[in-house]
């Protein structure tokens, strides 16, 4: 790299910005800002050194910026976790494919190998880089570099300026009390009791800057993707005979077919058929839902594993293997539909929860991935399995963040209550601030029964009571749109007037809310934000 100093300057600046944005501040808009600053800083360093990215790598900026934005739009825990995880993971993918841009052709092995290489570069490459720039340079080259002399001149100027500035600051402080307070606040930063904190912060700033330097250097020097794992020679050579693989897949297909027959006879036949066997509908739904989703997931792993190691020596063997895979996927589709029906039965009996919402979305994307994997096998495009899995994972995470899981739960459970079911107030009160606009809408919905709106108001009253014990971080760095929208919804005059009619009974645990209709509901404050 031609401009070596800019690497250290930008890395240290980004390290300090991390401290500025996150030290003693809750998660909010600070993460999205920092992600953008890191991207901008890295592109600046590499651009100034004449290192241009592949256009294919730039495609990754779309999901990176999307998930970074979602970290301050949503507050539901899993959505937030996935937004953080995909932002960081995709930024790593951008770093080790910066020049080559061949991530579209990566296998699963390529992802593993390159993430390991990136981690190694974050640890070792800055030291290698330091050793390289310390090599002796010719005298004429050294004379042409006035940067070092300028640095020492600046340092001497700072040392001379400090006592002079201190004297003038003291005089100005005696002349203006407001200015004196500002100076005193600045001087407090240098108290001895604060030194351990400053040392700790300096250490992690330097560690962060060091890791960012390694990442930038990896993107500049090691992201060409000259050779992909298994491109010329398979990582694991095919060793399993076609007959053995066909027997395995065939046996699984037969088992799944027998299970599907039972599903059509006893499950899709209706509640009467199940009752004959001694099960209630909700018991039948609860007993097998998780197992069916697990079977579907491991069916995908089985097909991928067999596809990677089976010998297919002619066209007939390839079509037979793909046909068995297609049959297995079709039967797994029946299982997923059965699991979906079971989940709907369970929700009809007990209402929606976060786990049930996650599983709804997961089953849809798992089914899509199964179909895509078999199609890729038929087209002899096995290498793109990893791309399909990556896109399906991104689709799953994006769907959760876009659908607003907590708002979805409120809307579904309120609709269920409007149809005559009970409304679980404690569950609604335990949701994140993502749920508040939907709760407020339900509270003001004149088409709902008075009892339903009465219970919705109890959930909001539980939230208001819990918020009194909070000490929220109101700094701009911790701002989230979710909490902003919740505050705007709760601040409406009509909503405040309604909630004044709710009484909080907090003498015993759990805390209860008494509604205007005389009902009492338990509150749950765990996990609220």
pLDDT digits (tens, 9 = 90+) for 356-410: 888 888 888 888 888 888 888 788 787 788 899 899 999 999 999 999 999 999 9
Structure tokens given for 442: 């339900």
Residue 230 has a pLDDT of 59
**Nearest residue to 245 via CA among 314, 296, 307:** 307
Give the alpha-carbon dihedral of 395, 399, 357, 461, to 10 degrees. Answer: 150
The backbone torsions φ and ψ at residue 504, rounded to the nearest 5 degrees and listed phi first, read -100, 125
Name the DSSP class of 54.
P
Q: Is 296 exposed, middle or buried (0-12, 13-18, 19+ CB in 10 A)?
A: buried
* pLDDT tens sequence across 207-245: 999 999 999 999 998 888 667 765 556 555 666 788 888
Q: Residue 337's pLDDT is what?
A: 79
Q: Name which of 54, 50, 48 is nearest 7 in CA terms.
A: 48
**pLDDT computed for residue 257 by the predictor:** 87
Residue closest to 37 by CA, chosen among 14, 16, 21, 57: 14
Residues ≥6 apart with Cβ < 8 Å to 173: 179, 180, 183, 184
CA distance 265 to 263: 5
Cα dihedral sign, 426-428-433-438: negative
3-class SS of residue 244: helix
Two structure tokens written together for 328: 């297995």
How many helices, marked H, and strands, marked E, lie in the chain?
Answer: 22, 3
**pLDDT (0 to 100) of residue 528:** 43
Per-block mean pLDDT, blocks of 10 residues, the chain (529 long):
80 93 90 96 92 93 96 93 96 93 86 91 86 60 56 69 72 73 68 69 88 92 74 63 85 86 61 49 58 79 80 81 84 79 74 85 86 82 85 94 94 89 88 94 91 93 84 84 92 91 84 90 63
Spell out the domain ranges in the chain.
1-148+189-235, 258-396, 406-522
503 DSSP β-pair partners: 514
Residue 374 is predicted with a pLDDT of 80
């Amino acid at each position: 790299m031609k401009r070596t100093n800019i690497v250290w300057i930008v890395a240290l600046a980004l390290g300090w910005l991390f401290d500025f944005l996150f030290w003693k501040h809750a998660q909010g808009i600070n993460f999205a800002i920092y992600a953008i600053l890191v991207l901008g800083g890295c592109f600046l360093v590499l651009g100034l050194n004449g290192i241009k990215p592949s256009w294919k790598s730039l495609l990754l900026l779309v999901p990176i910026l999307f998930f970074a934005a979602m970290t301050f739009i949503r507050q539901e825990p899993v959505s937030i976790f996935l937004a953080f995880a995909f932002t960081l993971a995709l930024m790593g993918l951008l770093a080790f494919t910066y020049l080559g841009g061949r991530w579209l052709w990566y296998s699963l092995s390529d992802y593993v190998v390159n993430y390991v290489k990136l981690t190694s570069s974050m640890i070792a490459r800055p030291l290698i880089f330091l050793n390289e720039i310390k090599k002796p340079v010719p005298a004429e080259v050294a004379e042409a570099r006035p940067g070092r002399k300028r640095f020492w001149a600046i340092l001497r100027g700072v040392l001379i300026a400090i006592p002079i500035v201190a004297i003038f600051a003291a005089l100005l402080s005696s002349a203006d009390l407001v200015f004196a307070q500002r100076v005193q606040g600045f001087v407090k930063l240098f108290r001895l009791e604060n030194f351990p904190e400053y040392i700790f912060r300096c250490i992690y700033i330097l560690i962060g800057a060091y890791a960012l330097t390694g990442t930038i250097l990896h993107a500049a020097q090691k992201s060409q993707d000259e050779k992909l794992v298994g491109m010329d020679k398979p990582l694991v050579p095919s060793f399993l005979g076609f007959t053995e693989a066909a027997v395995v897949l065939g046996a699984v297909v037969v088992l799944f077919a027998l299970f599907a027959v039972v599903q059509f006879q006893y499950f899709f036949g209706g509640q009467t058929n199940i009752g004959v066997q001694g099960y209630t509908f909700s018991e039948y739904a609860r007993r097998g839902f998780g197992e069916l989703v697990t079977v579907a997931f491991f069916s995908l792993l089985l097909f991928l594993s067999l596809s990677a190691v089976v010998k297919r020596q002619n066209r007939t063997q390839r079509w037979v293997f793909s046909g068995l895979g297609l049959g297995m996927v079709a039967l797994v589709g029946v299982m997923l539909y059965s699991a979906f029906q079971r989940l709907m039965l369970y929700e009809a009996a007990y209402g929606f929860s976060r786990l049930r919402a996650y599983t709804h979305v997961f089953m849809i994307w798992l089914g899509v991935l199964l179909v895509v994997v078999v199609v890729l096998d038929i087209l002899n495009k096995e290498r793109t399995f990893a791309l399909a899995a990556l896109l399906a994972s991104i689709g799953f995470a994006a769907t959760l963040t876009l659908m607003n899981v907590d708002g979805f739960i409120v809307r579904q459970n309120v609709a269920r209550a409007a149809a005559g079911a009970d409304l679980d107030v404690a569950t609604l009160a335990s949701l994140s601030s993502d749920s508040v606009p939907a709760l407020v809408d339900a509270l003001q919905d004149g088409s709902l029964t008075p009892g339903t709106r009465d219970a919705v108001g109890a959930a909001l009253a539980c939230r208001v009571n819990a918020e009194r014990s909070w000490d929220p971080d109101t700094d701009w760095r911790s701002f989230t749109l979710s909490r902003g929208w919740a505050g705007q919804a709760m601040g409406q005059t009509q909503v405040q007037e309604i909630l004044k009619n709710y009484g909080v009974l907090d003498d015993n645990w759990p805390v209860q809310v008494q509604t205007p209709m005389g009902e009492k509901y338990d509150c749950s404050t765990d996990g609220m934000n």
